[in-house]
Chains A and B, each alone.
Chain A
Amino acid sequence: MYRKLISNDIRKSRLLTITITVFILLAALLTSLAAMLTINLFTAIDNMMLSAKTPHFLQMHSGDIDMERLSVFAGTQEDVEDFQVVKFLNIEGAEIFIGENSLAGSVQDNGLSVQSKGFDFLLDLNGNIITPADGEIYVPIYYMKEGTASVGDRVTIHGMPFTVAGFLRDSQMNAAMISSKRFLISENDFQKMQGFGKLEYLIEFRFTDSSAASAFESAYLQAGLEANGPPAITHALFRMANAISDGMMIAVLILISVLVIIINFLCIRFTMLAKIEEDYREIGVLKAIGLRGWSIKKLYLAKYSVLAGIGCILGFILSLFAKEPLMENIRLYMGEGSSPGLGIALGIIGAGIIFFIVVLYVNSTLRRFKKISAAQAIRFGAPQERSKVVKGFLLSENKLLSPNIFLGMKDVLSRKKLYVTMLLVLVISSFLMIVPQNIHNTVSKRNFMTYMGIGECDMRIDIQQADNIAAKALEITSVIEKDKDITRYTVLTSYMFDMRLEDGSMGKLKVELGDHSVFPIEYSAGTAPRGESEIAISTLIADDTQKGVGDTIVLLIDGQEKLLTVCGIYSDITNGGKTAKAAFETSQDRILWSIIPIELRDRGMTDEKASEYKKQFSYAKVSDIEEYLDQSFGTTIAAIKKASYAAIAAAALLTVLVTLLFMKMLVTKDRYTIAVLKSSGFNNRDICRQYVTRSVLILVVGVLIGTVLANTVGELVGVGLISSFGASTFHFEINPLFAYLFSPALMTVCVYLATRLGISDIFLLKISEHIKE
């Protein structure tokens, strides 16, 4: 009986059934995929980090190294299980040739290494520890993925030839976002190459308990050990860096599946409301002949359970195929995960969750069966929503609107519950269209750098890892002073100071001294430091020290404690994000680095100026700021741009599909009303106008709400997303042309076309087929 009723019902409304099943299938597919990929990613990372024995703590250092002091320190730390110093020979990209191509344009810091002795092993693609023979070189997997190298290629470094024997997985530096890459060669070859590069040290520790990293880090800094390099990196950070690119993909999948599920539910809700309204009389008859509410409900529940079941099973099966290409990247970088069974089980659970959510949702929507009065249902069918506004909105009192527009508007007001589905989809679509575009617009604006701790300039000169930085800075500024093409510049010098922590112990703080008003940055709270006793701190330092604007920080400067008041907090993506800015003077001669930001009279001459200064001051790093930003965030901005265009396309497609479906269903549902209108002398064009009025009304409200939400709540979403790569406080740069003109116009075109297409059945509808007794 049930089977027959369900199959009849499905046959009668094929379009609806297929649409709902496809939506459920998509939701199950994405959820199952996300579950499987997540488990695969994390087990693969764990496997790789286990085989490679990734260090729990790493400090990079350039300059002299006191091995004995480090050994003694390691010996005193009870959590330290093993300790080693690995050499990393930094080679200028222009000196590395793979085949005929040099790595001169590479943004990566490339260098040579030998295989470690105790831990931090470099692995081949089968997960085995590599021992290269003389003349062989193993290339980071990043270059295999980039298509730069293949096995058997000839690599020449400073004229010395190597043959690519294979590719290596580096549990520390695998990820594209980690800007250093290790090439592996034999011990003998390394000895020969030593004179050709700048030697850096990776000071590595492994702990018996990996949670000891944080306490160890402060002990290490406290001990004043070698730390001339970027801030230390811990095991957790390596894990995160490995997970981030594929993790982002999984996060996007999850986001999309949440969106699909929401739209899915809206569609299910709409089709069910439409179906119930259509079946109202029949439901009344069934009730009148004594069927219980639950028995009638079971009919609907059974139908949707069948659809949900089919959708979820197909979704899960498809996810098994879809995961393969998506896992390729994980496999390549990290190797196989250890629990394929667990992945599949989680996939099944993911699809199962979708099934239960759909069934529960259908069940809750069907609660309205209780309220159906048999007598009312048989006589008049589905009741109208009643409200004073609807009752008071009378044709006989309307002198402004044409009957078609009036009827369109009245219908929307009378069936708000039905139209709310389309409204929500349009709100989601406008939101989806505008927010990524706003994010892209914000990050691609030149002044966005000021939200990330970098003043807006045209060119910058960095002097670091050099002797007598102060004198060199002075030498450069004396030339700048005379350069008429330069309109503004300043010298910002970074020092490492001791900072007294809350518990009385001492910590370290990198402070950039200079005039911070010349190239101002954006402060998420407070202002730039002006006076001698003011300091601005980065958000990471503010989080670490629990300090806010108005709080005080004690620094040890020139042997004396100095009390500084926090005057501002800013986001920083430079130097590990843990920095401070102040304007006081110091006589300390140990300088970390100096930066000279420069503004040119004519921005167009940046290239020319940069190469001029590069030639003149070989010890300094001169960068065109556009190039600097492009290298640092270029790929991210390009990805966001792509994503924002994809979002526009997805939103437009979503709008068209849902409007089309909605209108088709509405016309099917309203067949009788349309027949009545036709018999009263309304022609097809008139009736179409009524439907277009409904669409336009929903569109206007939807786009208004969507645009307002996108430009307000959307900013919070944007902050969340952008903060993941450094800047935590910023305001949307709204492109008014896009947000207030292009996006609404595109939505209007989509809705109008989909409505016209969706209501085309009105032309085919015959009065006699729906009114004849």
Chain B
Amino acid sequence: MKKILSGKNIVKTYGKEQETSNALDGVDVEILAGEFVAVMGPSGCGKSTLLFALSGTDSINSGLIEFDGAELSRLKENKLADIRRTKMGFVFQQPTMLKNLNILDNIILPSLQENRKDITRHIQKAKELLVKTGISELERRDITEVSGGQLQRAGICRALMNKPKILFADEPTGALNSKSSEGIMELLSDINKNGTAILLVTHDVKVASRADRVLFMKDGVIKSELGLGKFNSVDMQKRMNRVTLQMRNFEI
């Protein structure tokens, strides 16, 4: 399968002068088109930093990041914004929505920015996604009038509007209860089945077990990786055991 995202020897440092620490200390990573990759590791190991670096939303100190044939680390801010809008999707732990827009408006916002003339088509598509994610009755609601799980689904709808090649998810179930969490993961698996690559950061073994491949990070480097193959709900327990074992082996 074709490589869609790669990072070579990525170094990201925080702090100034003597008090610096390497959040990413020479990370190499590759993600194939349509692949579902999870990143696990203890708090502060650099998981989220890696996700933000690979998506071009955070700068790096050294290394090389390539996405869909373009070298992200060399692109100007405007070009990066274009790529984020047209080829990437983002889902965060806390849904990031604009408070003064309702659910539907929040979902169609990036698409309208891309192409204003097709507003009817955008609305149509948003409504389809809302149905798919099970929150079609909430389209006119303000974001303060829905639950955390519903808001996360709305965030996923927004991320999928422009048919992204890759979806970056930073602990998307971190703030949800197990039922909502399960629903969101079902949704992400479906999205992946339809060909969108996913790079997901999580603490949750169950969530990580849905991935094709799990990367284990510690102290700013990838210590190990585990190939799980395509997700099948029948193998769930087995996949979870493998992930847990790997974590133990590397004291993660």
Contact = CB atoms under 8 A, between A and B. Distances in A.
Contacts of A394: 102, 104-105
A733 to B, nearest CB: 45
A771 B81 CA distance: 16
A768 interface: yes
A740 interface: no
A118 B16 CA distance: 84
B58 to A, nearest CB: 4
B105 A682 contact: no
- In the complex, which of the residues A383, A395, A403, A772 has the most CB atoms of chain B within 10 Å of its own CB atom? A395
A134 B173 CA distance: 106
B96 A771 contact: yes
A773 B81 contact: no
Interface in A391-450: 394-396, 399, 402-404, 407, 410-411, 414-415
Contact of B78 (A403, A676, A685): A685
B144 A380 contact: yes
A403 B123 CA distance: 14
B52 interface: yes
Interface stretch (B61-69, B83-91, B188-196, B242-250): B83-91
Given A771-B92, A773-B94, A682 B100 contact: no
A384 B81 contact: no
A675 B97 CA distance: 10
B84 A676 contact: no
B181 to A, nearest CB: 15
A686 interface: yes
A562 to B, nearest CB: 76
Interface size range of chain A in the complex: 35 or more
B122 to A, nearest CB: 8
SS class, residues of chain A in contact with chain B:
helix
A383 B101 contact: no
A683 to B, nearest CB: 3
A767 interface: yes
Contacts of B78: 683-685
Contacts of A678: 57, 81, 84
Interface string B22-62: 00000000000000000000000000110010000111000
Contacts of A712: none
Interface stretch (B112-120, B206-214, B219-227, B230-238): B112-120
B57 A681 contact: no
Interface string A57-74: 000000000000000000
A395 B97 CA distance: 14
B85 A680 contact: yes
B139 to A, nearest CB: 8
Query: Which one of A376, A384, A672, A772 has the greatest number of beta carbons of chain B within 10 Å?
Result: A772
A680 B92 contact: no
With most chain A CB atoms within 10 A of its CB, the pick from B98, B110, B114 is B98
A126 interface: no
Nearest to B99: A384
A16 interface: no
Contact of B96 (A402, A411, A676, A682): A676
Contacts of B143: 380
Nearest to B175: A773
Contacts of B100: 384, 390, 410-411, 414-415
Given A683-B82, A771-B92, A763 B77 contact: yes
Nearest to B158: A680
A766 B86 CA distance: 20
A679 B57 contact: yes
A773 B171 contact: yes
A766 B102 contact: no
Contact of A396 (B57, B86, B105, B144): B105
B85 A766 contact: no
B180 interface: no
Interface in A674-700: 675-686
Contact of A768 (B57, B83, B98, B102): B57
Given A676-B97, A686-B113, A395 B108 contact: yes
A375 to B, nearest CB: 11
Contacts of B90: 679-680
A23 to B, nearest CB: 30
A395 B112 contact: yes
A329 interface: no
Contacts of B119: 396, 399
A395 B108 CA distance: 8
Contacts of A415: 100
Contacts of B59: 766
B48 A773 contact: yes
A772 B98 contact: no
B49 A768 contact: yes
Given A681-B82, A763-B77, A772 B170 contact: yes
A154 B173 CA distance: 98
Given A414-B100, A773-B94, A773-B171, A680 B48 contact: no
Nearest to B95: A676
Interface string A657-678: 0000000000000001101111
B135 interface: no
B99 A380 contact: yes
Given A676-B98, A766-B59, A772-B170, A403 B144 contact: no
A771 B99 CA distance: 15
Contacts of A390: 100
Interface string A733-773: 00000000000000000000000000000010011100111
A403 B174 contact: no
Interface centre among B58, B83, B123 (most CB of A within 10 A): B58
Given A772-B48, A773-B94, A681 B58 contact: no
A684 B77 contact: yes
A681 B170 contact: no
A772 B57 CA distance: 10
Nearest to A686: B113
A612 B52 CA distance: 91
Nearest to B168: A679
Counting from the closest, the 10 A-B pairs by CB-CB distance are A681-B85, A683-B81, A768-B58, A395-B105, A414-B100, A768-B52, A767-B57, A676-B96, A683-B78, A681-B84
Interface of B: 48-49, 52, 57-59, 77-78, 80-86, 88, 90, 92-94, 96-102, 104-105, 108-110, 112-114, 116, 119, 123, 142-144, 158, 162, 170-171, 174
28 contacts: A379-B144, A395-B105, A396-B108, A396-B123, A403-B112, A407-B98, A407-B109, A410-B101, A411-B100, A673-B98, A673-B99, A678-B81, A679-B84, A679-B90, A680-B84, A681-B86, A681-B88, A682-B85, A683-B81, A683-B82, A684-B77, A684-B78, A766-B58, A766-B59, A767-B58, A771-B57, A772-B49, A772-B52
Interface of A: 376, 379-381, 383-384, 390, 394-396, 399, 402-404, 407, 410-411, 414-415, 672-673, 675-686, 763, 766-768, 771-773
Given A675-B96, A681-B86, A682-B110, 12 more contacts: A403-B113, A410-B101, A414-B100, A679-B96, A683-B78, A766-B57, A768-B49, A771-B57, A771-B96, A772-B48, A773-B94, A773-B174
